[in-house]
Amino acid sequence: MNKVSGVSVALGLTRPLLVRTVPVADPGDLLARLPQSPAFAWIRHGEGLVGWGEAVRLEVPPGQDAFAWARARLATLFAEARIEDELRVPGSGPVAFGSFTFDPRRPGSVLVVPEVVLAKRDGRAWLTTIGGGSPSAVTPRVDPGRIRYEDGSLTAAEWGERVARAVAHIRSGRLEKVVLARDLVARADRLIDVRVLLDRLARRYPDCYTFSCDGLVGSTPELLVRHTGSRIESLVLAGTTQRGADAAEDAARGAALFASRKDRHEHACAVASVREALAPLCSWLQVPDEPELLVLPNVQHLASPITGRLADGASVLDVVAAMHPTAAVGGTPTGTALELIREIEGMDRGRYAGPVGWIDARGDGEWGIALRCAAVSGNRARLFAGCGIMGDSDPEAELAEARAKFRAMRYALEGDAAEAGTPGEPDGAATAV
């Protein structure tokens, strides 16, 4: 056996990874092929990647160099691997799924190379196995049963008071915008099978990126970056309104959002932060002059798609490192907003609003911002929602927006029963369905 050095020894591996990717027939519904929980997933419109088993797990140390550390470890790991890849397309060969904490100073960031990855895209499908990993028989999915909600770190009233404090800081001239997040705890009768949540999310929100990584499950509308060769794509979302009760109200809400001075300014701040982050990495960058309206089942967003071409040698993690956190999840100016979040938000976001996605051995990958998500452990799920606070923000309106954003994960947990909830739910320990 050859001597193995570098990261393999540090990880306790006795030999390089043996990776094989082969083309397969269309597997149909990728999520239906997941044999068990926990599971890894990145799905949009039925295409993407799913994985299971853990060939390698990297616990990323907290600190400002977390992304550089992750890229270096993965580069060494993949360089040492023995790879047989008959396709050599983005997502073939060894793939690491990852999610990072919102605050780089907090622990919890992780990268996992699954033993098995099943993928399909653009009319092609493939299976990647590492070592002895192989497809497994699918075990039955179990519904979580009755869901009870209780307050997270703050009650609704307490969070509304934090919004008012943030508005005061903005009006004083300290900053232009800050994003404040809320959490809510859900407890189920049975252990939560993330495959049930993934299936519901993917069917309900096909335009979003449905993801699962080490217990973090959700369906994010926000693509941080897609890296394919030297081309990158990003989708900036900032500015939100609820859906209307009928087509006329829906159109009116969308028009009001598009005309809203507050929301347009919030969106412009987010676009500017992405442009500033990407420009040094790109030989060219295309940013639209006007946002478009992205309509989802629960909310409407102002959206700006951005494309560019990277300088040679940049990995998708280099782009993620440059972009996170964007103004859409932090605020403007970002440094000042992060200070205020630490001062008044009243909770640890964990991996909520942090980057989540995948990277392959060529540096290609797709990463989103972990929004409309929950951290699942056993029969407990911690749900998250966030709102962009501006100088004219109203606490009650922001509470309503946060409740609308909770609905995605409520539906994932409860299914159709979530539709019976009243608009004010779910706040308070007495709420149950």
Classify the C-alpha dihedral 299-302-307-310 as positive or negative.
negative
Which DSSP string corresponds to 12-79? Answer: T-SS--EEEEEE----S-TGGG--SSS-EEEEETTEEEEEES-SEEEEPPPSTTHHHHHHHHHHHHHH
pLDDT, residue 266, reads 85
Mean pLDDT of the chain: 90
What's residue 429's pLDDT?
39
Question: Which pLDDT band, with edges at 50, 70 and 90, does 136 fall under?
Answer: confident
* DSSP labels, 76-139: HHHHHSEEEESS-STT-SSEEEEE--SSTTSS--EEEE-SEEEEEETTEEEEEEETT----PPP
What pLDDT was estimated at residue 1?
27
177 is catalytic: yes
| Active-site residue (options: 3, 59, 176, 222) | 222
Q: Please report which helix (H) or strand (E) contains residue 358, including its range.
A: strand 355-360
Give 373's DSSP letter. Answer: E
Can you say whether the dihedral through the CA atoms of 329, 240, 205, 225 is positive or negative? negative
CB crowding 98-111: b at 16 or more within 10 Å, else e: bbbbbbbebebbbb
Does residue 396 have a pLDDT over 70?
yes
pLDDT in tens, 346-383: 999 999 999 999 999 999 999 999 999 999 999 999 99
Is the pLDDT confidence value at 426 over 70? no
- Average pLDDT (76-82) is 96
Residue whose entry in the numeric block shows the structure tokens 């996170």 = 324
Sign of torsion, CA 59 60 63 69? Answer: positive
What pLDDT does residue 132 have? 75
Q: Kindly tell me if the per-residue pLDDT of 11 is higher than 70.
A: no
Task: Give the pLDDT score at 303.
Answer: 92
Burial class for 373, CB neighbours closer than 10 Å (0-12, 13-18, 19+): buried
Paired tokens of 423: 């608009």
> 75 or 423: which carries more pLDDT confidence?
75
Question: pLDDT by residue (tens digit) across 45-77?
Answer: 999 999 999 999 999 999 989 999 999 999 999
Rounded Cα–Cα distance for residues 40 and 194 (Å): 10
Strand extents, DSSP E, 159-277 = 177-188, 209-213, 216-220, 223-228, 231-242
Q: Which amino acid is present at 140?
A: P
Q: At which residue do the structure tokens 């009768």 appear?
A: 189
Percent over 90 (pLDDT), the chain: 76
Architecture of domain 148-192+223-350+370-420: 4-Layer Sandwich (3.60)
Rounded Cα distance, 422 and 418, in Å: 9
Whether residue 426 has a cis bond before it, omega within 30° of 0:
yes
Per-residue pLDDT band for 421 (boundaries 50, 70, 90) equals low
pLDDT at res. 211: 98
Low-confidence winner among 138-147, 317-326, 329-338, 419-428 (lowest mean pLDDT): 419-428
The whole-number average pLDDT for the span 243-260 is 91
pLDDT at 428: 44
**Could you say which DSSP state residue 415 is in?**
G
In 3-state terms, the chain is what percent helix, strand and coil (to 5)? 30, 35, 40
pLDDT tens digits along 292-329: 999 888 789 999 999 999 877 788 999 999 999 988 89
Q: What confidence tier does 4 reach under pLDDT thresholds 50, 70, 90?
A: very low
Indicate which residue of 120, 177, 266, 345 is catalytic.
177
Query: Which of 206-210, 234-238, 421-425 is the most confident on average?
Result: 206-210
Query: What pLDDT is stored for residue 420 in this prediction?
Result: 62
Residue 373 in contact with residue 352, Cβ under 8 Å? yes
Give the H or E element holding residue 385.
strand 380-389
Q: Where are the domains of the chain?
A: 148-192+223-350+370-420
Confidence at 239, pLDDT banded by 50, 70, 90 = confident
Of the segments 35-39, 203-207, 417-421, which one has the largest average pLDDT value? 203-207
pLDDT for 13 equals 58
Kindly tell me if the per-residue pLDDT of 254 is higher than 80: yes
